[in-house]
Amino acid sequence: MHVPVSVVKCSTYETEAVDRAVAESVRLVGGMERYIVPGQRVYVKINLLTKRHPEEAVTTHPAVVEAVVRMVQAAGGIVTIGDSPGGPYTERWVGPIRRAAGMDEVAQRTGAAIDQEYVEATRAFPEGKLVKSFVLTKAAAEADVIVAVPKLKSHGFMSFTGAVKVLFGCIPGLHKMEYHVRMPVVQDFADMLVDLALCVKPVLTVMDAVVGMDGPGPSAGRARPVGFIMASPSPFALDVAALDALGHDPLRVPTVVAAARRGLPGNIEDINLLGTPLGEVRLHDFNLPGTAGKGLIESRVSPGVGRVIRRVAGPRPVFHHDLCSGCSDCFKNCPPKAIAMRETGVRKDGGNGARPKRPYVDLDTCIRCFCCQELCAQKAVEIHRPWLIRRVLK
């Protein structure tokens, strides 16, 4: 198989350093001209997720996005920058997220367009294992090619979010909730993500791994230096190489397992590594959460026992009401509608009127997708993993 993946050291977001690392990483896998034909409409798919500033390591850093955009333009591509983070697919919702991440400035400096049409399109995918057609953003569906620019991060539901998982943002807004409800089991959701990656077929992926996020990602974890840029024509191969560089067995991540079962890159032996040897950038203390969906537990034990374990000792969201602002984003965007907003506590002014509302979760309805944690700007949602599940996941 030997799919090419390049690794180039980069320890800072200073413009010159990022430009040099991105250019070298792309050169090592054949150069941008190999992937872009002059005049093509190119959708540069970034990772926005939620309203955070670049230094928080939640979104793709604008320096990396700008470097990729300029290279695509130099090859003759006509660029639209975009993503559909969780929540409504509207300018009112996406615009503040995009501006906080610095993407409007990238568009202004480069002349690239921003996806502000907010129109959906359906693409048939009859060869899909689980999904035979996808609802996509029109910008992604109608582009001639897609170049993905993910952020390297941990993920509470899928353990790792990188080149494959970032493509979930090609599905517009609240349609993401439908996929979570239809596929609450980890393995099924991973298969859906592999179907999606094969459907949209990014021609090139350039990963921002200068600073990543570990722990309770993809939004509440710890920003920490990682120190490289990666590039590959295969999002599956790129994720394998990235996980190896983080010191983790790629086959502990559901999307890698799902891809490997289809004959796609699943281990480091499938990859032709170019540039910096992984041994020079490998980390040994990068914290990835164990996969937490209900399917993982039930795959190890009988269904009846699995249901009991999940209810009594499975992972679950815990809402810290002292940190919560009461914005209700978790309530509005919970796929199975397992969250209710209820009055709680006391008024800060000491009055006797309506008390502030805070979220409460029905664990019998909760599917453990942890979208509540992803979207919480206050980091008020913790994923509690009891001792028993930590033992199961070993």
Residue appearing with tokens 């048939």: 124
Mean pLDDT of 267-288: 94
What whole-number distance in Å separates Cα of residue 382 and Cα of residue 390? Answer: 16
DSSP label at 252? Answer: G
What whole-number distance in Å separates Cα of residue 344 and Cα of residue 333? Answer: 21
User: What was the pLDDT predicted at 350?
Assistant: 55
Beta bridge partners of 212: 224
List all residues 6 or more positions away from 89 whose beta carbon is below 8 Å from its beta carbon.
118, 120, 137, 172, 173, 174, 175
Confidence tier at 299 by pLDDT (50, 70, 90): very low
Mean pLDDT of 166-172: 96
| Higher pLDDT pick, 47 / 332 | 47
| Higher pLDDT pick, 193 / 297 | 193
- Give CA 2 to chain center in angstroms: 25
Residue appearing with tokens 């409460």: 360
List all residues 6 or more positions away from 279 whose beta carbon is below 8 Å from its beta carbon.
none
pLDDT, tens digit, 9 for 90 and up, residues 63-118: 999 999 999 999 999 999 999 998 899 999 999 999 999 999 999 999 999 999 99
With a cut of 90, say whether residue 292 has pLDDT above it. Answer: no
Confidence tier at 323 by pLDDT (50, 70, 90): confident
% of the chain at pLDDT higher than 70: 88
What is the gyration radius of the CA atoms in the chain, in angstroms?
20
Q: Mean pLDDT score of the chain, rounded to an integer?
A: 88
User: What was the pLDDT predicted at 303?
Assistant: 46
User: What was the pLDDT predicted at 316?
Assistant: 78
Mean pLDDT of 198-210: 98
248-281 burial string, b = 16+ CB within 10 Å, else e?
Answer: bebeebbbbbbbbeeebbbebebbebbbbebeeb
User: What was the pLDDT predicted at 196?
Assistant: 98
User: Is the previous residue joined to 126 through a cis bond, with omega within 30 degrees of 0?
Assistant: no
Locate the domains of the chain by residue range. Answer: 3-280, 294-392
Nearest to 388 by CA among 319, 316, 339, 287: 316
Q: Is 102 within 8 Å of 15 (Cβ atoms)?
A: no
User: What was the pLDDT predicted at 289?
Assistant: 85
With a cut of 70, say whether residue 2 has pLDDT above it. Answer: yes
User: What was the pLDDT predicted at 305?
Assistant: 53
With a cut of 80, say whether residue 302 has pLDDT above it. Answer: no
What whole-number distance in Å separates Cα of residue 140 and Cα of residue 42? Answer: 9
User: What was the pLDDT predicted at 173?
Assistant: 85
User: What was the pLDDT predicted at 310?
Assistant: 54
With a cut of 90, say whether residue 185 has pLDDT above it. Answer: no
DSSP label at 59? Answer: S
Q: Is 133 within 8 Å of 124 (Cβ atoms)?
A: yes
The yes-or-no answer to whether 3-280 and 294-392 have a common fold is no
Mean pLDDT of 40-50: 96
Assigned CATH for 294-392: 3.30.70.20
Q: Take residue 370 and report the two structure tokens written for it.
A: 């942890």
With a cut of 60, say whether residue 392 has pLDDT above it. Answer: no
List all residues 6 or more positions away from 76 whose beta carbon is below 8 Å from its beta carbon.
36, 37, 38, 39, 40
**At the fourth CATH level, which superfamily is domain 3-280?**
LarA, N-terminal domain (3.40.50.11440)
With a cut of 60, say whether residue 394 has pLDDT above it. Answer: no
User: What was the pLDDT predicted at 90?
Assistant: 95
pLDDT, tens digit, 9 for 90 and up, residues 245-276: 999 999 999 999 999 999 999 999 999 999 99
Confidence tier at 294 by pLDDT (50, 70, 90): very low
Give rounded-to-5 percent helix, strand, coil for the chain: 35, 20, 40
Residue type, 75: A
With a cut of 80, say whether residue 374 has pLDDT above it. Answer: no
Confidence tier at 354 by pLDDT (50, 70, 90): low
Nearest to 205 by CA among 384, 68, 306: 68
Q: Count of alpha carbons within 13 Å of 327, Cβ hemisphere only? A: 14
Residue type, 45: K
Mean pLDDT of 158-170: 95
